[in-house]
Structure formats: structure tokens, C-alpha cells
């Protein structure tokens, strides 16, 4: 079960920004590397490791294990990493139900947890913690942006669907927070579902003028293929998770023209993003996804903090994380009072560059967007 990245165990040389690390740092990465969600975890891991390689980061060890998308396994791995492997901080979880199982216990033991993806509302609000930093988004955010876009696009009767787990409920909550029209239907599917015939029949009969769905990884691939084959012509939209680089190749031309929201796009015009996109393609032979971005930014945040403070000095290291003094590929990035990002969120369109499906920015949905739960965080 245990997978240790060989590259992470190499004795690399050089610090960050001319500064050597105060102490070696051991990172436990728990992510999904098998099953239908494996592509997401692989991208997070690869983006994270690329940042360490580019920094030639000495004295950082990454212990990586596969959670197989199972909460009980993720908890076991986290306990082992904390108690036996003696990691200084944890990261890597993709799925919100796994994060809810792991994060509260990890921070209760005094460990830092930095989220590369999952952003459940509880951890942004009532269950926030000074040692929990989310470097991706709060779950509602990209869906809020599409609710806002649906108004702008003139849709009046939306059919919405998502999987029945924390990120799914957060997604539809976020969409409805900004969408002002009528709902033709609201459906929660099973996590890992692959047959969407019943849901597509509901959409056909609903009278909806558009469909919003959040179905990450293999779920979204299955839905879009079946939707294209069904002959239903109601336009679809979604968050970037449903139309990002990790799934576009599998979906195919059925995704062309679809609008989706993201806090990142490969055409963002800044030096850090250019370095990241070119470096990722050179290292792995593929375009990066937003999951790779989040792994990359998380690693660079850690590197920036480790250059300023020892993780053994929790207060100093926490303060260095909070500063977010790194060049994010997203451009502007800062933490809110609940240690969640304040950032811009864009509307993208799926296009084709040569034979490759990808995205381009067509609008900005939100500028300096904050999540709705920071007010409930009592830090």
C-alpha cells in the first residue's frame, strides 16, 4: 500500500530565495492514486513534486500513500504518518469526506494540514483551525461563480446535480447562493456513479433551459459521454473540475464550447504561471490541470514558510504560512481570516488547440472573492 516517491528521498541541495531551511521538513501526502479518482491525486502529487524539484529543495522528504478514496483508510494512514513516520505536516487529500475524517484529528494532534483540494464548508467555518490552511478554494466558490454566470447568460430554469457527499452539497449550495432563476430539478447522485440514464431522462423531461453539474473525475467523464449520446440538446455548464485537463481528453469533442469556472487557467498572463505550465509539460509530457496547480502552489507556500521559520516553532511557521509570501500561478493570492483563499474566479470556455482540448478565459466572474463561511470561524 505504501508508496514513497523515490524523487522525494533524494538529498537535494539549495534552499529557497537564497535561504537555507532552519530544519529538515517531513511531509505526509495522503492522496488518491488508484480507482476512478486517481487522475486527480496523480496531478496533485505531480504538481507538488515539480515545485520541489524546481526549487532544488534540500532536506524536504515527502512520504506519499494512496487513500484509494476510502475515509477509513485515509484515517489509518494519517495516524501512522503522525505517530510512526513522524511527519511535520500533512497534505494531499482530494475528497471532502476524507478531509472531514482526517483533518480535525490531525490538527488536534498539533500537526499542520494544508489542503491541496478539498474545501468543505465546516472547515472554513465552525470547525476552522489555526493549523489548517486551504490552498485551493472553499468548496462553494467555483459553483458560486457559475451561478453568477448563469444569471449573466440569461438562463431562467436550471437543472442542477452533484454527488451526495460534502463537496457535492456545498457545490449546489454555492450555485444557488448566486443563481436568481428557477430550478427545473435538483438531484444528488451516488459517489462513484457511472450510469446516468435516469438523471438524463429527468433532464429531458424537466423543461430546463440549461444544466449545471459537478461530477469530478470519472463521474463527469461518464456523464458527459452518456449525455452526448442521449441526443438531449440542453446546454451544460459546470465548475472547472468537470471540464479540466484531467478529463477533457476522455470526454472528447462533446465538451467543446462548454463554459466552466476556475480560479486558474493556463492562459493567465504571469511569469509564475508560464514557468509552471512549461515546466509541467516538460516534466510530465501533458498539460497541467487545476489539481496540479493546487499541488504546485501548496508546495511553494510550504517552501516559502520553511525558508523563514522552523516547523518546530509552530507559531513562527504558522505566521510564515499566513503571509503567503510566494509567487502563485494564480497571480493574486492571500488568506482570509479563516485561512482560506481570497482570489479571483474566472469563466472559461473549452476550446481546441490543434488536436488538444483545453480552456481559455472568457470572463471574470468574481474579483477578490471570499467564502461565505469565514464569518463563522472564531479564530
pLDDT above 90 coverage of the chain, percent? 89
Instruction: Give the pTM.
Output: 0.90
Q: What is the pLDDT of residue 37?
A: 86
State yes or no: pLDDT of 359 exceeds 70: yes
DSSP string, 190-221: PTT----HHHHHHHHHHT-SEEEE--TTHHHH
Cell digits of residue 317: 511557521
pLDDT tens profile 141-190: 999 999 999 999 999 999 999 999 989 999 999 999 999 999 999 999 99
CA–CA gap between residue 289 and residue 89 (Å, rounded): 24
CA–CA gap between residue 50 and residue 55 (Å, rounded): 9
Report the b/e string of 154-174 with b at 16+ CB within 10 A.
ebeebbbbbbebbbbbbbbbb
Query: Residue 283, Cα to own-chain centre: how many angstroms?
Result: 21
Q: What is the pLDDT of residue 22?
A: 65
Q: What is the pLDDT of residue 23?
A: 76
Pick from 14-18, 104-108, 308-312, 340-344: least confident: 14-18
Amino acid at each position: 500500500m505504501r508508496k514513497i516517491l523515490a524523487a522525494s528521498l533524494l538529498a537535494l541541495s539549495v534552499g529557497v530565495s537564497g535561504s537555507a531551511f532552519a530544519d529538515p521538513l517531513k511531509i505526509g501526502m495522503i492522496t488518491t492514486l488508484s480507482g476512478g479518482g486517481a487522475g486527480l491525486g496523480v496531478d496533485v502529487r505531480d504538481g507538488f513534486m515539480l515545485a520541489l524539484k524546481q526549487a532544488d529543495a534540500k532536506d524536504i522528504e515527502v512520504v506519499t500513500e494512496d487513500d484509494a478514496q476510502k475515509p477509513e483508510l485515509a484515517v489509518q494512514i494519517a495516524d501512522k504518518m503522525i505517530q510512526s513516520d513522524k511527519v511535520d505536516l500533512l497534505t494531499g487529500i482530494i475528497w471532502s469526506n476524507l478531509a472531514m475524517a482526517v483533518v480535525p484529528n490531525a490538527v488536534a494532534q498539533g500537526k499542520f494540514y494544508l489542503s491541496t483540494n478539498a474545501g468543505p464548508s465546516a472547515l472554513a467555518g465552525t470547525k476552522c483551525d489555526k493549523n489548517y490552511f486551504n490552498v485551493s478554494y472553499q468548496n462553494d466558490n467555483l459553483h458560486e461563480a457559475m451561478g453568477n454566470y448563469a444569471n449573466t447568460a440569461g438562463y431562467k430554469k436550471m437543472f442542477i446535480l452533484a454527488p451526495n457527499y460534502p463537496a457535492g452539497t456545498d457545490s449546489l449550495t454555492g450555485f444557488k447562493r448566486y443563481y436568481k432563476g428557477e430550478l427545473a430539478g435538483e438531484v444528488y447522485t451516488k459517489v462513484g456513479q457511472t450510469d446516468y440514464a435516469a438523471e438524463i431522462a429527468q433532464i429531458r423531461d424537466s423543461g430546463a433551459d440549461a444544466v449545471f453539474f459537478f461530477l469530478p473525475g470519472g463521474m463527469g467523464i461518464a456523464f458527459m459521454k452518456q449525455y452526448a449520446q442521449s441526443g438531449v440538446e440542453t446546454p451544460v455548464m459546470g465548475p472547472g473540475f468537470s471540464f479540466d485537463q484531467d478529463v477533457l481528453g476522455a470526454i472528447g469533442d462533446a465538451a467543446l464550447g462548454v463554459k466552466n469556472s476556475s480560479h486558474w487557467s493556463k492562459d493567465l498572463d504571469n511569469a509564475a504561471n508560464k514557468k509552471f505550465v512549461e515546466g509541467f509539460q516538460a516534466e510530465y509530457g501533458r498539460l497541467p490541470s487545476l489539481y496540479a496547480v493546487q499541488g504546485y502552489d501548496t508546495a511553494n507556500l510550504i517552501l516559502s514558510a520553511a525558508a523563514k521559520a522552523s516547523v518546530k516553532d509552530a507559531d513562527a511557521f504558522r505566521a510564515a504560512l499566513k503571509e503567503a509570501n510566494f509567487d502563485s500561478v494564480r497571480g493574486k493570492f492571500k488568506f482570509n481570516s479563516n485561512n482560506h483563499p481570497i482570489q479571483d474566479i474566472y469563466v472559461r470556455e473549452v476550446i481546441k488547440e490543434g488536436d488538444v482540448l483545453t480552456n481559455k478565459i472568457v470572463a471574470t466572474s468574481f474579483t477578490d472573492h471570499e467564502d461565505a463561511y469565514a464569518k463563522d470561524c472564531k479564530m
